Amino acid sequence: MSEATTEAGSAAESGAERGGRRAAVDRFLAVVERELTTTVRTQSVLALAVGFALVVVGLGWVGGTVGYVPAVLNLLTPTELLVPVLALAFGFRAVLGDAERGELDVLRTYPVERTEYVLGVYVGRAAALVVVLLVPYLLVGLLVAVAGGAGTSVVASHAGADSILLYVRFVVLTVLLGLVALAVALAISAAAAGARSAVALAVGTALALGVGFDLAVVGGLSGGYVSEGAVRWLLALSPTGAFRGLVLRTVLDPVLSGASGSGLPDLVGLVLWLAGALFVALVAVAPVRWRR
């Protein structure tokens, strides 16, 4: 075989590989667009988004708009409880709904890989969720800016200074919590056998993430089964506990104590939950509903 023939063959293989990658990206984006359109057109999702926005902005207004860090203090606990519930509602029927409507059977007739499908569903719904989360929290930040902004007397006696950057950190961490909870919802949707089991799993997960894990850690501490030094690491194993730890160490501690601690264990905990939940969703879809 001549050198020219070999080079031509290599070029053809390289072109085919690039074409395959472009086709995979196109299929992924098609799933993303489909899921985003479906989510936006769902009336129950829109109602949840409006209700969530009203609650967050209302709490921010009632709690006072004297500073960014005080706003974080007012919204921290409601955020821990409401954001996971909202994200679970966004995603707990994503894969299950496709299976019940027979759309997964239709997708199996197209050259769509299960990875493209699962990640496309996640990214599409995540895009809608991020917008729903950002709008009310940015509105609260705008209210604070209009009412007086940073540098208020509430934190003047502390070692640090109030800053809009601290509030931005809180908003970013809130979005991260929502993305993790959405991945968990997708795993529930892929693993559930039916609508009732999906609802039961979603409700149970919301309770576990909201209060269950914290109560278990407190019970273990009071019973002597958990040492004080292990509490932080155990709380980092819960998405809401990891979120709370990151907010304390990167948003509140710089103002209240003038120093910020390491939030690495909490960040690792959130990343592991995100990756683990998406892996569960992929595995749950693969053997039963995606025979390729």
| Calpha distance 163→112 (Å, rounded) | 47
Residues 6+ away with beta carbon under 8 Å from 278:
118, 119, 122, 183, 186, 187
Burial of 171-195, coded b for 16+ CB within 10 Å and e otherwise, reads bebbbbbbbbbbbbbbbbbbbbeee
**Residues 192/96, Cβ–Cβ less than 8 Å:** yes
Residue 292 pLDDT: 46
Lowest mean pLDDT among 84-93, 213-222, 238-247: 213-222
Tokens of 161: 């200074």
User: What pLDDT digit, counting tens, does each position of 271-280 carry?
Assistant: 999 999 999 9
Q: Which of 265, 244, 257, 266 is nearest to 73 (CA)?
A: 244
Average pLDDT in the chain: 80
| Calpha distance 33→123 (Å, rounded) | 9
User: What pLDDT digit, counting tens, does each position of 155-177 carry?
Assistant: 444 445 788 999 999 999 999 99
Residue 160 pLDDT: 57
Q: What is the CA radius of gyration of the chain?
A: 23
Residue 56 pLDDT: 95
User: What pLDDT digit, counting tens, does each position of 104-132 carry?
Assistant: 767 766 777 888 899 999 999 999 999 99
**To the nearest whole percent, how much of the chain has pLDDT over 90?**
35
Task: Check residue 84 and report its DSSP letter.
Answer: H
| Calpha distance 258→96 (Å, rounded) | 48
Tokens of 54: 């009203």
Residue 157 pLDDT: 47
Residue 139 pLDDT: 95
**Residues 28/21, Cβ–Cβ less than 8 Å:** no
Over range 17-46, report the average pLDDT: 84
Residue 154 pLDDT: 46
**Residues 253/260, Cβ–Cβ less than 8 Å:** yes
Kindly list the domain boundaries of the chain, sorted by start residue.
32-289
